[in-house]
């Protein structure tokens, strides 16, 4: 590999890591803060891609971002409504919305399961035009992703300190306490899911414009990939402030992409991505449980050690 | 003034587990009353509080606060003027959030998207300092890292930071070690006195049932069997209480957490 090859790999890892980190930040809000595992993430990611693509194809690259995020808000609202007002278990609510979104997404793309944006003006091509023939030539994709991620992190670190943000955090921590503070947890859950899904949709929208293609299966497994990234970031920044942990989520996403790129380089087939992320998520979530239970199991089979008898 | 009129509650009606937890409860609590409530396990003391705070709807009967019918008002709305503390110090606080963040939420006020201002934060700190537990230096500690007693003190402050019309204390010192329990009870009495709160306190401690507050209510099997205040309460001893319970119910008062001295 030449130096420019290495730079290219690093650049694409950063680009993809940053774009997918927006979904990780969405889960940071819904999973880490609200304590809801939002399984509509996959569908919402594709929804963002589809809506963004359609609007961009109609000639409105900037509007496409806003439209995708608005679609995400709507999707989050439906998930929240099902789980807070209709008594549907939160996992099931996510699965239901996810299933419904499959049809919605194809409908949005006008019945097609693919939309090509090869010649479309997108936020990426807009910025590319600005960067061409400057020293930043070629870094426009990183720039767009970086701006989006920075905006979301700044938003989150302020938002989570406001009264509403505190209430959202408390909802996941102890929803009874929220009620005792005369705040309706239905409201905080709804706002939290709407905001989180706006980020997920933004993530999907940017990925579609990045790869110049919106595909009905783009979002598949996204929730697991993003959870894996979130948990990687979480282990690095365990006892930190809300803002630092948000940055940790982004770093987690980039690390995940880097490990994946490395594995591809070592001849791992691309289709293994999802199995690897499934493994990471399973390992990371089960770790605290295993840490507690393995010593007990050990004691059961090696009772001698309990008495400090290490010779046995 | 809090009034309960013929409040009834049956759990699991029509099943083998049917349990009549409240039977025709009539209770008038005057402003400034500090009532201690005692009774055996399962007497319906906590259920009485749950009905009052809106954790569930009574099967029949009405609840009025300052003359307004609040029977069907959801719990989170009632929380504005009914404060609550439980036996488990974990109940009332968000463990991974700091003392200051918990108090900010409880204090409410301000718009949804407002950030707590410096003056507000100072005021919270002063309130914490007034507890006299040194917690003002731990405003940025997650509540989950505090001891049970400290955590209960924070919860008490959260429940009273905007003086509620009624404060419900459900054995809020029972899970604490004796010295912490004493300290919390002391802080409770001080807060109630200073803010002139109306307060109902379930206790398992027979001595505090008589020494604390201005009125003592005894419950058994979903009913109020004894209610003493003023001259009728002065001079009562723990033995008198136990005798009254026996006379009214034909059995001895039996509570697994009961402290007689
Ligand atoms: N949510 C519920 N579902 C079913 N039964 C309940 C429920 N809550 C309370 N009960 C029953 O109602 C009765 C009264 O319970 P309650 O908790 O009010 O008693 P208590 O006086 O607070 O007793 P303790 O001193 O043990 O706290 C008990 O028999 C209890 O088993
Ligand atoms: Mg009880």
| Three-class secondary structure of residue A115 per DSSP | strand
**Atom in ligand 1 nearest the alpha carbon of residue B87:** 27
A170: chain B residues, CB-CB within 8 Å = 94, 97, 101-102, 105
Whether A50 is in a domain gets the answer yes
Atom of ligand 1 nearest to the CA of B49: 18
Domain-wise residue ranges, chain B: 1-81+164-261, 93-163
Q: pTM of the predicted model, to two decimals?
A: 0.90
- A269: region left, alpha or beta (phi > 0 left; psi from -120 to 50 alpha): beta
Q: Is B235 exposed, middle or buried (0-12, 13-18, 19+ CB in 10 A)?
A: exposed
And the tokens for B64? 């009025």
**Could you tell me if residue A88 is inside a domain?**
yes
**Nearest-CA residue for atom 7 of ligand 1:** B11
Per-residue pLDDT of chain A (312 residues; tens, 9 = 90+): 788 888 999 999 999 999 999 999 999 999 999 999 999 999 999 999 999 999 999 999 999 999 999 999 999 999 999 999 999 999 999 999 999 999 999 999 999 999 999 999 999 999 999 988 888 888 999 999 999 999 999 999 999 999 999 999 999 999 999 999 999 999 999 999 999 999 999 999 999 999 999 999 999 999 999 999 999 999 888 888 899 999 999 999 999 999 888 888 888 888 887 888 888 888 878 887 888 888 888 888 887 655 544 444
> Which backbone phi and psi does B184 adopt, to 5 degrees?
-65, -40
**CA–CA separation, A91 and A89 (whole Å):** 6
Is residue B229 within 8 A of residue B215, CB to CB? The reply is yes
CA distance A159 to chain B (A): 7
Tally of domains within chain A: 1
CA–CA separation, B214 and B197 (whole Å)? 12
β-strand partners of B34: B199
Select the residue of A163, A167, A174 nearest B93 (Cβ to Cβ). Answer: A174
ipTM over 0.85: yes
Residue in chain A nearest B75 by alpha carbon: A179
A163 to chain B, minimum CA–CA distance in Å?
5
Q: Which of B56, B93, B98, B112 to mutate to probe the A interface, most A CBs <10 Å?
A: B112
- Among A281, A184, A212, A226, residue whose Cα is nearest residue A40: A226
Using CA coordinates, name the residue in chain A closest to B140.
A241
- Report CA A59 to chain centroid distance, whole Å: 27
CB B157 within 8 A of CB B126: no
> Atom 26, ligand 1: which residue's CA is nearest?
B41
SS3 A148: helix
Among B residues 2-41, those touching chain A with beta carbons less than 8 Å apart: none
**Residue B16, exposed/middle/buried by CB under 10 A (0-12, 13-18, 19+)?**
exposed
Name the class of domain B1-81+164-261.
alpha beta
Calpha distance A290→A296 (Å, rounded): 10
* A288 in a structural domain: no
Note whether residue A266 is domain-resident: no
- B105 to A164: CB separation less than 8 angstroms, yes or no: no
Taking residue A213's Cβ as centre, other Cβ atoms within 10 Å add up to 16
Full domain range(s) for residue A53 = 3-223
| Burial (CB count <10 Å: 0-12, 13-18, 19+), residue A53 | buried
Tens digit of each residue's pLDDT (9 = 90 or more) over B186-216 = 999 999 999 999 999 999 888 889 999 999 9
> What is the CB-side half-sphere exposure of residue A169 using CA atoms within 13 A?
24
Which residue from A minimizes the CA distance to B117? A162
With beta carbons less than 8 A apart as the criterion, state whether A75 and A43 touch: yes
Closest among B48, B62, B85 to B5, alpha carbons compared: B62
Single out the residue of B98, B89, B90 nearest to residue B142, CA to CA.
B98
Which atom from ligand 1 is nearest to the alpha carbon of B45? 21
Assign A99 to helix, strand or coil. helix
Helix (H/G/I), strand (E/B), else coil: B56: coil
What residue ranges in chain A does DSSP mark as E strands? Answer: 114-116, 213-215
Helix axes A3-27, A140-159, angle to 10 degrees: 30
- Domain assignment present for residue A40? The answer is yes
- The CA-based angle B12-B17-B21, given to 5 degrees, is 65
How far is CA A157 from each of CA A136, A244, B167, rounded to the nearest angstrom?
Answer: 29, 9, 35
For chain B, give the mean pLDDT.
Answer: 92
A228: in domain: no
- Give distance in angstroms: CA of B55 to centre of ligand 1: 13
Sign of the torsion formed by the C-alpha atoms of B138, B139, B140 and B146:
positive
């Amino acid at each position: 590999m030449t130096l420019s090859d290495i730079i290219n790999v690093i650049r694409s890892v950063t680009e993809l890591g940053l774009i997918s980190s927006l979904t990780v930040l969405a889960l940071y809000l819904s999973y880490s803060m609200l304590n809801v595992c939002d399984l509509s993430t996959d569908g919402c990611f594709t929804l963002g891609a589809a809506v963004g693509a359609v609007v961009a194809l109609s000639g409105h690259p900037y509007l496409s971002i806003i439209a995708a995020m608005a679609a995400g808000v709507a999707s989050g609202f439906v998930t929240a409504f099902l789980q807070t007002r209709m008594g549907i278990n939160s996992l099931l609510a996510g699965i239901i919305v996810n299933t419904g979104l499959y049809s919605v997404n194809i409908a949005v793309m006008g019945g097609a399961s693919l939309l090509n944006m090869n010649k479309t003006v997108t936020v990426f091509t807009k910025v590319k035009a600005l960067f061409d023939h400057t020293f930043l030539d070629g870094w426009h994709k990183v720039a767009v992703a970086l701006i989006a991620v920075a905006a979301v992190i700044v938003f989150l670190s302020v938002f989570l300190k406001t009264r509403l943000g505190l209430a959202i955090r408390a909802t996941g921590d102890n929803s009874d306490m929220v009620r005792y503070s005369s705040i309706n947890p239905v409201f905080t859950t709804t706002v939290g899911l709407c905001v989180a899904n706006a980020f997920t949709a933004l993530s999907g929208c940017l990925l579609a414009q990045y790869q110049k293609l919106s595909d009905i299966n783009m979002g598949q497994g996204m929730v697991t990939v993003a959870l894996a990234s979130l948990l990687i970031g979480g282990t690095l920044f365990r006892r930190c402030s809300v803002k630092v942990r948000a940055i940790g989520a982004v770093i987690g996403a980039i690390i995940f992409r880097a490990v994946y790129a490395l594995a591809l380089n070592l001849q791992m087939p691309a289709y293994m991505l999802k199995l690897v992320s499934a493994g990471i998520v399973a390992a990371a979530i089960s770790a605290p449980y295993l840490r507690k239970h393995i010593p007990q199991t050990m004691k059961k089979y090696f009772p001698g050690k309990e008495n400090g008898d290490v010779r046995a | 003034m809090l009034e309960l009129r013929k409040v009834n509650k049956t759990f699991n009606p029509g099943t083998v587990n049917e349990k009549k937890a409240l039977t025709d409860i009539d209770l008038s609590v005057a402003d400034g009353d500090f009532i201690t409530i005692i009774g055996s396990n399962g007497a319906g003391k906590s259920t009485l509080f749950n009905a009052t705070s809106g954790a569930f709807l009574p099967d029949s009967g009405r609840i009025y606060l300052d003359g307004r019918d609040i029977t069907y008002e959801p719990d989170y709305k009632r929380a504005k003027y009914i404060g609550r503390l439980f036996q488990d110090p974990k109940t009332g606080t968000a463990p991974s959030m700091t003392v200051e963040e918990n108090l900010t939420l409880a204090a409410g006020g301000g718009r949804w998207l407002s950030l707590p201002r410096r003056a507000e934060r100072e005021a919270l700190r002063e309130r914490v300092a007034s507890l006299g537990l040194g917690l003002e230096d731990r405003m940025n500690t997650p509540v989950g890292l505090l001891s049970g007693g400290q955590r209960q003190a924070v919860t008490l402050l959260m429940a009273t930071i905007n003086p509620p019309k009624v404060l419900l204390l459900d054995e809020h010192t029972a899970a604490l070690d004796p010295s912490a329990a004493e300290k919390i009870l002391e802080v409770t009495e001080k807060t109630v006195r200073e803010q002139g709160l109306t307060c109902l306190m379930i206790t398992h401690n027979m001595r505090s049932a008589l020494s604390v507050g201005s009125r003592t209510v005894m419950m058994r099997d979903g009913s109020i069997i004894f209610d003493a205040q003023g001259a009728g309460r002065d001079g009562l001893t723990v033995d008198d209480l136990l005798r009254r319970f026996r006379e009214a119910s034909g059995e001895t008062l039996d509570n697994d957490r009961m402290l007689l001295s």
